[in-house]
Amino acid sequence: MNRLALLAMVLAAGVAGTADAGGLSRPNNISARGVGMGGAWVAFADDATAVYFNPAALSDAEPQIQVGAELVVGPRSYTPTMADGTRGPAQEATALAPLPSIGGVGRFWYNDQPSRFTLAGGLWNTYGGQIKYPKTGMKALDSTQNAVIEASAGTAFRVSDRLSIGASFRLGIGLFKVEATQNPYDAKLEANGIGVAMAWGLLFKPVDKVRIGVSWRAPLHVTTTGSGTVEGASGTEQVSVEHKQDWPQSASLGVGVQATPRLKLAAQVDWTQWSTITDIVVRLPGSGNPPSVYEENWNDSWTFRVGADYALTKTVAIRGGAYHDTPAIYERVMERQYIDSKKFGFSAGTSVRRGAWRVDLAMDLIPPLSKRTVPLPTPTTPDYERAKAPGEYKSFLFTFEASVARVF
């Protein structure tokens, strides 16, 4: 095993399967403080995760080191519709995994005055997941992992008391693994790789009590390479593996209001360009096997958020939020490893500060408010409209966030 593969396994030893856009993103993640506000965080981000959500907001963050983790629990089920219209047995799985969230913020001083520049860095899982279903012997992807761990470093520059700008460099460690039965052949494949991207942000305060945050994250392309086995007519064959991960660009616009000395209110809209995912291609170079091409043709997704932060005392704050996330996957290409639907999420959180130490906690829930049914194609259904996996899909997602920060 090479060093990159070992590092990737240590950092992502449990990247969880999810219920959001294509099963490849969670709509509320990474920051315990931001998760508690429903992810309406681009205007008020004030910890190390701002380097990802809005680098410009680092100008308002205190120097700090934070260590945190996310625990993701994602039960899901797929009940297939058979060719004769009857329902087959339910296929159930639960994603359960801890994820790292580590970062720091620093600022230099000159002549007893803080620098206009703020520096920050962090490590977290931004996209991706893994899920494993019991084998049925039928054509299926039994176990899949397609994920990225990002190590980010960035800076903010305070142009004036009203305006800050920021940028960050994103190093993505891509992880790919699949175990397939007859899809298109029996195989166990694993690959990893590295890609780079940028993020840009702006924070504008038109008046003292109002702030507007804008951020853009460039697409992240990771070419993963590795090895695996394929079951052929002559037995087990060792093969090389190549898979390109194309994580989409995204943008956020948020407005924050200091409604009272104790109360902060925030609203935000996010756009993610999942429509760039048209096919997932796995190549086995030098094996003589054709590439495995899985048609996707996803849609862009939109997320609408509201959140609040209330200071009960000088040392204790509580938070709450809600959001609506539109589906990226339409019915024809829905599969059990990529369960998606219209989602409504609810979150709550708190912070407790004692001297230079701060503890942040949050919970987020996407309840199973509705199931999604993919109809069985009829004999007259054109090939381009025939569903991959007709049946009934159900899922919900629970996330628990915790972090400890030392403020300087």
Nearest Cα to Cα of residue 176 among 251, 283, 269: 283
Per-residue pLDDT reduced to its tens digit, 274-328: 999 999 999 999 888 889 898 888 999 999 999 999 999 999 999 999 999 999 9
Nearest Cα to Cα of residue 101 among 149, 58, 39: 149
Q: 98 — phi, psi (to 5°)?
A: -90, 145
* pLDDT band for position 18 (cuts 50, 70, 90): very low
Instruction: Determine contact, residues 289/4, Cβ cutoff 8 Å.
Output: no
Comparing 76-80, 93-97, 282-286, the range with the smallest average pLDDT is 93-97
| Cα 133 from Cα 135, distance rounded (Å) | 6
State yes or no: pLDDT of 66 exceeds 80: yes
> C-alpha 32: how far from its chain's center?
14
Please state, rounded to an integer, the average pLDDT across all residues of the chain.
91
Q: 396 — phi, psi (to 5°)?
A: -145, 165
Return the DSSP state at 12. Answer: T
Nearest Cα to Cα of residue 36 among 402, 283, 406: 402
Return the DSSP state at 103. Answer: E
Nearest Cα to Cα of residue 58 among 31, 27, 29, 26: 31
Per-residue pLDDT reduced to its tens digit, 114-123: 999 999 999 9
* pLDDT band for position 20 (cuts 50, 70, 90): very low
pLDDT value at position 350?
99
Buried b (16+ CB within 10 A) or exposed e, 299-329: bebebebbbbbeeeeeeebebbbbbebbbbb
State yes or no: pLDDT of 14 exceeds 70: no
| Cα 174 from Cα 224, distance rounded (Å) | 7
Q: What average pLDDT does this structure show over 32-36? A: 98
pLDDT value at position 7?
41
State yes or no: pLDDT of 17 exceeds 60: no
Q: What is the rounded (10 degree) CA torsion for 128, 130, 136, 137?
A: 70
The C-alpha angle with vertex 40 and arms to 54 and 369, in degrees rounded to 5, equals 135
Q: Among residues of the chain, what percentage have pLDDT more than 90?
A: 73
Q: What average pLDDT does this structure show over 66-88? A: 93
pTM passes above 0.85:
yes
Quickly list H helices, 221-328: none
Fold of 3-407: Porin (2.40.160)
Instruction: Determine contact, residues 141/178, Cβ cutoff 8 Å.
Output: yes
Per-residue pLDDT reduced to its tens digit, 334-380: 888 888 888 999 999 999 999 999 999 999 999 986 678 899 988 88
